[in-house]
């Protein structure tokens, strides 16, 4: 399989704009697609702002920033992805949404193009089976925020070819990422370990073992974590944490992966974390304070 020379990204949210950022900065032309034109405008503004931070820190020149931004093309139609060597899906963590996207994009991709999903938990083999190219389908799970975090999990489905794996591993290296190869089990490596820890912190809060500040301080100072688990859950998005726990619970069939009822309650209330302005912390105040 030839080296990947052009990248398509589906979804202009936090993960999608980060993937577009690092690909463009690595010298690759990028087509960023989202059905919402406002999301595309916001994504370009976010990328420019994040690159400005890199310029201020001396990690990027102003000229390199301008060149990277010029490599990004935006569109609302999947047809614009037709020339891409790889298309990375970074849509919401709902299986039915992802499968609908794959069916749409497969209709326009060239036969040799690779499809990758940034899913954080959904089985790659199952997603690949819904496409016309399971041998050229792979998981490429970036960490948030993409321009800062160095890891990419690469997950092969049962049908993923050696050539596809090699091409994607090479691409990850070009993007400046270190790879961890994960087997295709629910939530892979990072979220298999991380999200149950956050869920257990929520359960610890529900049972009154500690309050929000105590739980986060205990893990920051007692386990040397840079963020407490409740703070981190807010950063990830409590709806995403719940979706991953449900995938783990269903996929593993083990009661230890049962989502905490309090986590369910927060999501039902719309308290999804930072992006909603409220989760375990209330972000309408500076600094944020526990919401209950």
- Domain boundaries along the sequence of the chain: 7-182, 192-290
Q: What is the pTM of this model?
A: 0.90
Residue 10 clears pLDDT 90, i.e. is over it:
yes
Q: What is the mean pLDDT of residues 58-80?
A: 97
Q: What is the DSSP pairing of strand 7-10 with strand 281-282? A: unpaired
pLDDT of 110-146, one tens digit each? 999 999 999 988 999 999 999 999 999 999 999 999 9
CATH topology of domain 7-182: Rossmann fold (3.40.50)
Q: Do 7-182 and 192-290 come out as alike in CATH topology?
A: no
pLDDT confidence tier of residue 93, bands split at 50, 70 and 90: confident
Q: Could you tell me if 263 and 241 are in contact, meaning their C-beta atoms sit under 8 angstroms apart?
A: yes
Q: In what order do the strands lie in the sheet with 72-75?
A: 72-75, 30-33, 7-10, 86-89, 114-117, 137-142, 151-156, 178-182
Higher model confidence: residue 2 or residue 241?
241
- Phi then psi dihedrals of residue 178, to 5 deg: -95, 140
Q: Which residues contact 215 (CB under 8 A, 6 or more apart)?
A: 201, 204, 205, 209, 228, 229, 230
| CATH class of the region 192-290 | mainly alpha
Residue among 55, 2, 28, 20 nearest 174 (CA) = 28
Residue among 121, 57, 146 nearest 249 (CA) = 121
Mean pLDDT score of the chain: 96
**Burial class for 63, CB neighbours closer than 10 Å (0-12, 13-18, 19+):** exposed
**Burial class for 110, CB neighbours closer than 10 Å (0-12, 13-18, 19+):** exposed
Residue among 161, 158, 150 nearest 114 (CA) = 161
Q: Given this model, what pLDDT does residue 124 score?
A: 97
- CA atoms of 203 and 108, how far apart (whole Å): 46
- CA atoms of 97 and 199, how far apart (whole Å): 25
Give the active site residues: 120, 141, 153, 191
Residue 1 clears pLDDT 70, i.e. is over it:
no
Q: What is the DSSP string of 54-105?
A: HHHTTSS-HHHHHHHHHTEEEESSGGGGTT-SEEEE---S-HHHHHHHHHHH
């Amino acid at each position: 399989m030839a080296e990947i020379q052009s990248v398509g990204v589906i979804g202009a949210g936090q993960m999608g704009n980060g993937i577009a950022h690092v690909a463009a900065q690595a010298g690759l032309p990028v087509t960023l697609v989202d059905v919402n034109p406002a999301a595309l405008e916001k994504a370009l503004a976010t990328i420019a702002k994040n690159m400005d931070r890199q310029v201020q820190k001396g990690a990027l020149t102003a000229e390199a920033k301008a060149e990277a931004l010029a490599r990004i093309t935006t569109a609302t139609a999947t047809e614009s992805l037709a020339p891409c060597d790889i298309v990375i899906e970074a849509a919401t963590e709902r299986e039915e949404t992802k499968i609908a996207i794959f069916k749409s994009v497969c209709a326009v991709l060239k036969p040799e193009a690779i499809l990758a999903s940034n899913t954080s938990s959904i089985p790659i083999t199952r997603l690949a089976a819904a496409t016309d190219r399971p041998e050229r389908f792979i998981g490429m799970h970036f960490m948030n925020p993409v321009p800062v975090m160095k890891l990419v999990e690469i997950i092969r489905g049962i049908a993923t070819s050696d050539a596809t794996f090699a091409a994607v591993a090479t691409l990850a290296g070009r993007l400046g990422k270190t790879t961890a190869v994960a087997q295709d089990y629910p939530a892979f490596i990072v979220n298999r370990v991380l999200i149950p820890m956050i869920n257990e912190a929520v359960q610890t809060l529900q049972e009154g073992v500690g309050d929000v500040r105590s739980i986060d301080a205990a893990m920051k100072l007692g386990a040397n974590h840079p963020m407490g688990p409740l703070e981190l859950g807010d950063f990830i998005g409590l709806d995403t944490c719940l979706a991953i726990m449900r995938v783990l619970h269903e996929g593993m069939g083990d009661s230890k992966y049962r989502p905490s009822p309090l986590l369910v309650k927060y999501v039902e209330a719309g308290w999804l974390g930072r992006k909603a302005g409220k989760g375990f912390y209330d972000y309408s105040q500076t600094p944020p304070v526990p919401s209950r």
